[in-house]
Amino acid sequence: NAGVTQTPKFRVLKTGQSMTLLCAQDMNHEYMYWYRQDPGMGLRLIHYSVGEGTTAKGEVPDGYNVSRLKKQNFLLGLESAAPSQTSVYFCASSLDRVVNEQFFGPGTRLTVL
Amino acid sequence: EDQVTQSPEALRLQEGESSSLNCSYTVSGLRGLFWYRQDPGKGPEFLFTLYSAGEEKEKERLKATLTKKESFLHITAPKPEDSATYLCAVQARRGDYKLSFGAGTTVTVRA
């Protein structure tokens, strides 16, 4: 099992450009999450999904959109990137609400110039 | 709002020098407290879940304990490979699924 994978690993964007980050999990988990991690701050939840076809806002959703068309995939989109979105993005998944140990991907380092 | 505070921010240890990391939390009804390890440039790796005060869990040189206000991660006789950032997170009993994370404690173990 690959667990949770993320593509790409690194990306540099110019202000105003758009991009999509892809997360895939092969553990048949129901729940998936997108976090951002900034120096000196804890992981902050951007959006999450409790099942195929569902999405919900987390703590810092502005400027991001998500989609979960297939159970194993969770996409994070930036429509018009801003320098404030420079960060490391992590995807995670968990089996369900009762067993909420979250398993994380390796991260995507995004720089917006 | 749930709050998680970890201390110290950084900890430098000599190999074999045992120590403890602290995670203080404020949450309206705790469902679970989670510990993760994060190596540089990698995603967090799950270590433990604690559910109720008095509970303890161990894994190799790590032992996590939980009270009603805080959790401790004890590192016994650490080795250089224990160097990492340790993250604490809490989940509340209410209906959302969010984990609230602390900023982490970076542990460096010198040989």
Query: pLDDT, tens digit, for every residue of B38-97?
Result: 999 999 999 999 999 999 999 999 999 999 999 999 999 999 999 999 999 999 887 667
Residues of B with CB under 8 A from a CB of A: 4, 31-32, 34, 36, 41-46, 49, 87, 89, 91, 97-104
pLDDT 10s per residue in chain A (113 long)? 789 999 999 999 999 999 999 999 999 999 999 999 998 888 999 999 999 999 999 999 999 999 999 999 999 999 999 999 999 999 999 998 777 899 999 999 999 99
Q: CB A29: neighbour CB atoms within 10 A?
A: 19
d(CA B87, CA B102): 6
Selected residue of B1, B97, B100 to mutate for chain A interface (largest A Cβ count, 10 A): B97
Mark which residues 48-87 of A lie under 8 Å from B by CB. 48, 50, 58-59
pLDDT tens track for A88-109? 999 999 998 777 899 999 999 9
At B28, phi and psi to the nearest 5?
A: -85, 90
Q: Is B101–A44 a contact, with Cβ atoms under 8 angstroms apart?
A: yes
